[in-house]
Structure 1
């Protein structure tokens, strides 16, 4: 009976203090929702992508050869256990009239990899049917239309019927399709044609799928590590194929050349014979012509007609002979050309592209990693503030019930029985908040973020699951904050005797505060102001907790806006302040200087191009024990001084860096990653894996990509190679997309340019990529604002409940309602102002910490917090304070003064 009555009292405590109970639930709910939700987002995004890719059976590795893929390539890999091999055709086609570039693939319904998904229409059943990328709908194409590809070298037909639109797992991005070496250099969409329509004797690409990675998720470290081993194995197996394939091509070409020579030799003999026959025919006609004059008149007319007919035939034979002579000369010239081609044939190159080389794949993974980096900091701090306020609330609750605890002890209740009420209270509040937070955080935040990203990626469904690691951490943290705080205070209170507990705690003695020593200020303060100032310093713990709570919430809101500002400032910090050129033209390898005339003429004739400069660009690697190999772009300009107009290099302390012949300049993030300092010696590996030793002469700021810069003399010195330019840096006026595409088309038409990349497209891609994070930032800001409101309300509520007798006393003494309200609110205003100021510092530190965690090897986020961010975060905190003040005013008006003053009797 005793326990039953006490249990009722427990639930009566909940109904009596509904505001506090709901506040604890809300704080735990918000903290758990954000922490679990954001921490679960990355694994949910990665898992959803993996499910999609496994359903569509995306290949793990693509092998592309400049010499094509043959059965010999497949045979080399046949002995690898668990390897599935498929192959196909692919090429780029440029439609100059429509300014479109299409990547054309072969379609084979029997293939088990890279399944297409129909968005509308049907799969091809006839040879003249084509499937188009669903993005082609935006260009106006419809099912049933005739589609033209005028490429007689690649295809057996030119006219096709559109029967369906599809998506392909090779392209998970919905906004880009990659780059090409034809047309304007940017792929518009892809197309699939039946395999039998392709003319080429050898296929272009080999798709590989490995059984030993199927158990891993694509974006997991385990998958990446295993695929690194798989790729190394494939490269080793195919290491002899480039030379062998070159010999095969040369042998085929030599055989064709031999047959061609034989044909030419036979043609020469036939031509000589035809010439003899023609001469004999001429001699015979000449003789006939001489004999006609001797014939009688009746026979002369008939003979003359026969002679005319014979002469016409002779003229026809003579024309045919000349045509054969011309063809023979052409054939002879082609033989010489083929002989030169065989002699100068370039080395065959095999390229190995894993999933992360597919369009949009790395971008999605990077986005997921950035969310994870934010989740490692922002929600944890949010969680800490929520737990701190919960701890404070539970502590104050137990302290308020001292008299009740004393009464129960006096009535013979054991410590365990007394503690039961607070255990139930804290467990109930924590359980409700945790369950609501876990369910909401897991089911809503990842789905919302996935939905907001869905317009940029092909993934069609979020596969949500409960990630028990953050859930268990949330449970432990909030149980410690609620149950732990209650037990800690109870342990202290239950040690006291009932007589002590039944007496209220003696108020803290008043004493002079430091403001009283500032006579001009103190003498001008009103009585109410003096009371407020004394109360502030009299209850320092309360003041400190209020300031910490408000500072934490303001800091969270500022960090949210700061993240938005910083993330959106990457392109602005990189392009302009650092990169001052507007485009890069990639030239064919080993292109002689004499062959660049057409390119330079095209650039000089374009009114928008103001200047250009040749440079050597290549990808090099840095390796270090126990650290991953990192790639960076080596850039060597023809003239270091002129290069300063194209690229502005600055050190971390913003000093100008100039290239010298005594060392190289490396970008900041790569230097930090490998702990490289100015003056250090570094080993790099070029594209041919040759090791070179360089000295670091400077470390430059950089936000996108990783670069290594050298002067031309220093490059030739350390590599022992002659400098050769393979790219051009362009400076232009502001150009429209159409003008950029036209210039790219003109440059590609020279047949000496591989690709033209404009900085404007990089800026657009970067901004689109960052825009995905803006939605997450707004979620963080919104939840931080809600937490700020609940924290302010809860702290004010605690303040009032602790001081109800004090407030009743001043009301009895004649204070008006507004004066009583201001008695509390004046303190809140001071707490809020100090909290906001401290919160600005907290927010800045928190933003810097998050950005540091979110930065990667190829991307650094600058710390940029615009004035508006401070205004919004401070303004929101003030608005929440005003709302709480209004609620407080009505609550203070209804204080029962008599009950409050009799509470200790």
Structure 2
């Protein structure tokens, strides 16, 4: 009966102190919600993407060759272990009238990989039917329209009927469609048409799916490791294939040229025979003319005929010699044909695929810091609240001990209270966090991706971590205080704790200030320093919440500043033009001079190189060698920790991220691998600031010295006046049509892509800010509530002494205001440290995030904290007005 009554009393404690109980539950709920929710977001987003691409049988690897792919390539691909192989055609088609570029793919209903998703209409069923990318609707295309493809050298027909609009798993992005080597340089949409329409037997692409990666998370480490091994085996099988394919191309071309060459040679031989006959006829005619003294009309006519015949022979000889020279030139060109290159593109190379993975990685990186700090603040406040609750019940514990209750029986009440609050908060936080945050974050970025949605699932590790931490914060706090209290005698527990003795504070020693302060202010400041533990705990709680808000908004500022820090302060050119092999540079420069928008250009050599080091993943970076290093500083501003410098004549400059990854310093020697895996060594002369991409800069002279090769420009950096999007497209189109240029990449496009990529994180950042604000509000409310509860007798006393309600509120508010201001100031400093730490964690191999926190971030976090403090004090004011002074002042002393 005794235990039953006490159990009921334990449950009533929750009802009697429901404000405190709800506050504890909310704090634990918020901490768990953010921690579990954000920790689960990355895995849930990645798992949902994996499920989607696996369902659509997206190929794991695409084999592409610049020399096309034959049946021999397909037979070789079929030998790859664990591989399922399909082949197809792909080509770019530029519609000059509409200034559109479409990427055309062959469609075969037998194929199982890269299954299309029909959004409207149906898949091609007849030879004259095709389906378009759903994005093509934006260009005005509709079902049953005729789509014309004027590509007679590649396709058997020109007119097709649009029978459907589709999505392809190759393109998970709703916007990106990749680059092209025709038209304006960018693909606008794709199209699938029946394979029989392609006239060539040479295929363009081989799709490969591997059985040993089925079921693995496409963004996971296990998938990456398995794919690395698969690609190694593929490359090993295709090692000799480029040379073999070059020989096949030469052989096929020579088979066409050599018979014609032999035919021309035969014709020349016959012509020489004809010439000999003509020469004999001329000799005979001259002999007859010598024997005839008089004019003979027949001889004159014969002579004219021979002259006409000679002219005809000369003309034919000239034509045949020209043809022979052309065939010889063709034969020479065939023999000089460059060995085709084979590329092995993974899923990450598909447009938008890596961007989605990077989003998940950044969320995961932020989840390792921000929620943990949030979690720590929530746990700290929970610990404080439970500690104060037990201390408030000293006399009740003393009474129960005097009545004969055991220590365990007395503890049950607080165990029930702590476990109930923790369980409610953890369960609600885990459920809400897992089911809302991943979905909310996906919805905020879903307009950029073609995924149908996300499927939430529970991750055990963060839930277990949250459970352990909050049980320690709530139950642990209660038990720690109980252990201390239960060791005291009932008589001691029945007496209230003696208040801390008053003492002079530092401010009192500054007489000019202290003497001018009001009585109420003096009392408030004495109380502040008298109860130091209360002040420290309040300042820590408020500082933590303010820091979270500073970090939240600071993250947005920093993430959005990547482009601003890179383009302008570092990269100061407007476009990069990539040339074809053996391009005519003078012809390209003439094209530049004809465009009035272009103000300057600089020839450079751009090459992708690789760095390798044991224990570190291989890293690719762009090696840039300018023709003139002095002029180069107008296009690229090299800086080391903000201080500018010129590209040195002796030595290389590497960007900071690569220097950090490979532990490089000035004066170090570095081994670099080129495209053919040939090595050369460079000395690091300096390290340059950089935020996007990785670069290695060498002067022309140092490159020639380090490599022993002559400098050959393959690109141009362009500076221009401000251009519109259409002007950029027109310039790109003209350059591509010159047959000298492969691609034109504009910095404006890169800036736009970067901004869109960072926009994906805006929603996450605002989630952090809102939840941090809520935590700040609850923390302030809880701390104020504890403050009032502990000082109920003191506040009742000053009310009895004649203080008005507003004066009593200001008495408490003054202390809270000081706590708030101190918390905000400390929070600013802590917020900067926290933001920097999160950015370091979120930075990736190709992106370094600068620390940028604008003044608005400080104003927002400080303003919200002050606003919450004011709201809490307004709520506290109404509570203070209704204090029952008689009950509060009752005492058994």
Q: Would you call these one fold, judging by a TM-score over 0.5?
A: yes
* C-alpha displacement of 1:201: 2.5
The aligned counterpart of 1:603 is 592
The aligned counterpart of 1:814 is 802
Structure 1 contact 131–164 (Cα < 8 Å) conserved = yes
- Partner Cα separation in structure 1 for residue 313 and residue 427 of structure 2: 95
Task: Report the 3-state secondary structure (helix = DSSP H, G, I; strand = E; otherwise coil) of the residue aligned with 1:250.
Answer: helix
- Partner Cα separation in structure 2 for residue 470 and residue 18 of structure 1: 28
- Is it true that 1:18 corresponds to 2:10 in the alignment? no
The aligned counterpart of 2:868 is 880
Task: Report the 3-state secondary structure (helix = DSSP H, G, I; strand = E; otherwise coil) of the residue aligned with 1:455.
Answer: helix
The aligned counterpart of 1:745 is 733
- Partner Cα separation in structure 2 for residue 97 and residue 329 of structure 1: 41
Distance verdict in 2 for CA 1:403–1:247, change over 3 Å: same
- Partner Cα separation in structure 2 for residue 893 and residue 333 of structure 1: 108
* C-alpha displacement of 1:341: 2.4
Structure 1 contact 617–727 (Cα < 8 Å) conserved = yes
- Is it true that 1:30 corresponds to 2:30 in the alignment? yes
Give the 5 Å matches for 1:618-629. 618-629=607-618
- Partner Cα separation in structure 2 for residue 497 and residue 47 of structure 1: 59
* C-alpha displacement of 1:373: 0.7
- Is it true that 1:549 corresponds to 2:549 in the alignment? no
* C-alpha displacement of 1:325: 10
- Partner Cα separation in structure 2 for residue 265 and residue 641 of structure 1: 56
- Partner Cα separation in structure 1 for residue 319 and residue 131 of structure 2: 41
Please point out which of 873, 880, 885 is paired with 1:892. Answer: 880
The aligned counterpart of 2:564 is 572
Distance verdict in 2 for CA 1:434–1:336, change over 3 Å: same
Task: Report the 3-state secondary structure (helix = DSSP H, G, I; strand = E; otherwise coil) of the residue aligned with 1:444.
Answer: helix
The aligned counterpart of 2:624 is 635
The aligned counterpart of 2:39 is 39
Give the 5 Å matches for 1:497-576. 497-576=489-568
- Partner Cα separation in structure 1 for residue 608 and residue 541 of structure 2: 50
Task: Report the 3-state secondary structure (helix = DSSP H, G, I; strand = E; otherwise coil) of the residue aligned with 2:161.
Answer: strand
The aligned counterpart of 1:187 is 187
* C-alpha displacement of 1:248: 1.1
Give the 5 Å matches for 1:155-170. 155-170=155-170
Structure 1 contact 147–161 (Cα < 8 Å) conserved = yes
* C-alpha displacement of 1:331: 6.1
* C-alpha displacement of 1:235: 0.6
Please point out which of 860, 870, 874 is paired with 2:848. Answer: 860
Structure 2 contact 80–237 (Cα < 8 Å) conserved = no
- Is it true that 1:355 corresponds to 2:343 in the alignment? no
Task: Report the 3-state secondary structure (helix = DSSP H, G, I; strand = E; otherwise coil) of the residue aligned with 1:465.
Answer: coil
Task: Report the 3-state secondary structure (helix = DSSP H, G, I; strand = E; otherwise coil) of the residue aligned with 2:488.
Answer: coil
* C-alpha displacement of 1:332: 4.8
Structure 1 contact 25–430 (Cα < 8 Å) conserved = yes
- Partner Cα separation in structure 1 for residue 654 and residue 225 of structure 2: 27
Distance verdict in 2 for CA 1:273–1:711, change over 3 Å: closer
The aligned counterpart of 1:63 is 63
Structure 2 contact 80–233 (Cα < 8 Å) conserved = no
CA displacement, residues 807-828 of structure 1 (integer Å, 9 cap, x when unaligned): 1111111111111111111100
Task: Report the 3-state secondary structure (helix = DSSP H, G, I; strand = E; otherwise coil) of the residue aligned with 2:191.
Answer: strand
Task: Report the 3-state secondary structure (helix = DSSP H, G, I; strand = E; otherwise coil) of the residue aligned with 1:62.
Answer: strand
Q: Count matched residues.
A: 863
Please point out which of 420, 445, 460 is paired with 1:428. Answer: 420
Give the 5 Å matches for 1:134-145. 134-145=134-145
Structure 2 contact 554–853 (Cα < 8 Å) conserved = yes
Moved more, 672-681 or 487-496: 672-681
Structure 1 contact 443–464 (Cα < 8 Å) conserved = yes
* C-alpha displacement of 1:195: 0.6
The aligned counterpart of 2:770 is 782
CA displacement, residues 71-110 of structure 1 (integer Å, 9 cap, x when unaligned): 1112223333321111111111111111111111111111
The aligned counterpart of 1:118 is 118
Please point out which of 815, 830, 840 is paired with 2:828. Answer: 840
- Is it true that 1:372 corresponds to 2:364 in the alignment? yes
Distance verdict in 2 for CA 1:458–1:326, change over 3 Å: farther
- Partner Cα separation in structure 2 for residue 186 and residue 348 of structure 1: 24
CA displacement, residues 818-877 of structure 1 (integer Å, 9 cap, x when unaligned): 111111111000000101111111111111110111011110111111111111110000
Structure 1 contact 662–697 (Cα < 8 Å) conserved = yes
Task: Report the 3-state secondary structure (helix = DSSP H, G, I; strand = E; otherwise coil) of the residue aligned with 1:127.
Answer: coil
* C-alpha displacement of 1:679: 1.2
Task: Report the 3-state secondary structure (helix = DSSP H, G, I; strand = E; otherwise coil) of the residue aligned with 2:85.
Answer: strand
- Partner Cα separation in structure 2 for residue 275 and residue 708 of structure 1: 66
- Partner Cα separation in structure 2 for residue 779 and residue 267 of structure 1: 83
- Is it true that 1:109 corresponds to 2:102 in the alignment? no
- Partner Cα separation in structure 1 for residue 390 and residue 379 of structure 2: 17
* C-alpha displacement of 1:656: 1.4
The aligned counterpart of 1:648 is 637
- Is it true that 1:384 corresponds to 2:394 in the alignment? no
- Partner Cα separation in structure 1 for residue 891 and residue 148 of structure 2: 91
Query: What TM-score comes out, normalization by structure 2 length?
Result: 0.94
* C-alpha displacement of 1:719: 0.9
Structure 1 contact 504–904 (Cα < 8 Å) conserved = no
- Partner Cα separation in structure 2 for residue 98 and residue 435 of structure 1: 58
- Is it true that 1:668 corresponds to 2:683 in the alignment? no
Distance verdict in 2 for CA 1:834–1:584, change over 3 Å: same
Task: Report the 3-state secondary structure (helix = DSSP H, G, I; strand = E; otherwise coil) of the residue aligned with 2:774.
Answer: helix
Structure 2 contact 265–324 (Cα < 8 Å) conserved = no
The aligned counterpart of 2:241 is 241
Moved more, 665-674 or 77-86: 77-86
- Is it true that 1:697 corresponds to 2:689 in the alignment? no
Structure 1 contact 271–321 (Cα < 8 Å) conserved = yes
Unaligned ranges ≥5, structure 1: 277-319
Structure 2 contact 657–848 (Cα < 8 Å) conserved = yes
Distance verdict in 2 for CA 1:377–1:68, change over 3 Å: same
- Partner Cα separation in structure 2 for residue 360 and residue 893 of structure 1: 60
- Partner Cα separation in structure 2 for residue 647 and residue 615 of structure 1: 12
- Partner Cα separation in structure 2 for residue 250 and residue 610 of structure 1: 43
Give the 5 Å matches for 1:409-488. 409-488=401-480
CA displacement, residues 222-281 of structure 1 (integer Å, 9 cap, x when unaligned): 1111111111110111000011111111111222223434665788899999999xxxxx
The aligned counterpart of 1:80 is 80
- Is it true that 1:758 corresponds to 2:746 in the alignment? yes
The aligned counterpart of 1:289 is none
CA displacement, residues 186-242 of structure 1 (integer Å, 9 cap, x when unaligned): 111111111111112210111111111113110001111111111111011100001
- Partner Cα separation in structure 2 for residue 750 and residue 45 of structure 1: 44
Structure 1 contact 657–698 (Cα < 8 Å) conserved = no
Please point out which of 765, 784, 787 is paired with 1:796. Answer: 784
- Partner Cα separation in structure 2 for residue 269 and residue 125 of structure 1: 56
Task: Report the 3-state secondary structure (helix = DSSP H, G, I; strand = E; otherwise coil) of the residue aligned with 1:166.
Answer: strand
- Partner Cα separation in structure 2 for residue 95 and residue 114 of structure 1: 26
Task: Report the 3-state secondary structure (helix = DSSP H, G, I; strand = E; otherwise coil) of the residue aligned with 1:754.
Answer: strand
* C-alpha displacement of 1:336: 3.3
Q: Give the aligned CA root-mean-square deviation in angstroms.
A: 2.3
